[in-house]
Structure 1
Amino acid sequence: MCTQIINRAASAAGVTPNYVARSDDHHTAMAFVAAGVGVCVLPRPAALTVPAGTAVLEVRDPVPRRRIVALLRDSSETNPAAQRAIDLLLEAARGVDEARAA
């Protein structure tokens, strides 16, 4: 899914990515960047800490977007632990939006 989002944003900007290495793990992707292999595109929460000597830049025009959903069983809808988890996810999402706006 992330590759599709990146490809759509790149296409809209008139760019065709040249993938030389791929990883499903953001730590590995950042290690590739630190080693000089190239750049990586990550969701902001994955880039809160980055290797020394690397920089975080916002992708713009267009900004890639993704939608994150939480699924739970109907019987868990009133479960306090499930509701707390949803509240924490919403709080984290708001924090990312606020950091992006700053």
Structure 2
Amino acid sequence: MQKYQVWRTLAIINFLLQIHSAFSKLNELILFTIYFSTLHQFLFLLFSKIINTPSQITKSNNQILEQNPKSFLITKENTEIFNRVKMTDLQRRRVQGRNEGKSF
């Protein structure tokens, strides 16, 4: 009876070790996949920066402008919206204070 319990305990330990080994291999596979994906994205960004020289970017912007001339129109409304978004909270308070006659 005692031999049976020893063999049973050894079998359970062996089974748990096999599960642990399988999970560690799965973990290695997941880490390798993440590493490879990150490396691939980094290389893609690096080479896209090298390949897209400023002259090519200007050419592509000009092509977009030719296809849809209204997309790049700078209007007073667009400029005001852009400036409002760019302003920090302190700048916004200063502008409001100037409009109300206060100074910060």
TM-score range, shorter chain: under 0.3
> Greater relative contact order: 1 or 2 (C-alpha under 8 angstroms, separation 6 or more)?
1
Task: Say which one has the larger Rg.
Answer: 2
- Structure 1 length-normalised TM: 0.24
Q: TM-score, normalised by structure 2?
A: 0.23
Structure number with higher helix proportion = 2
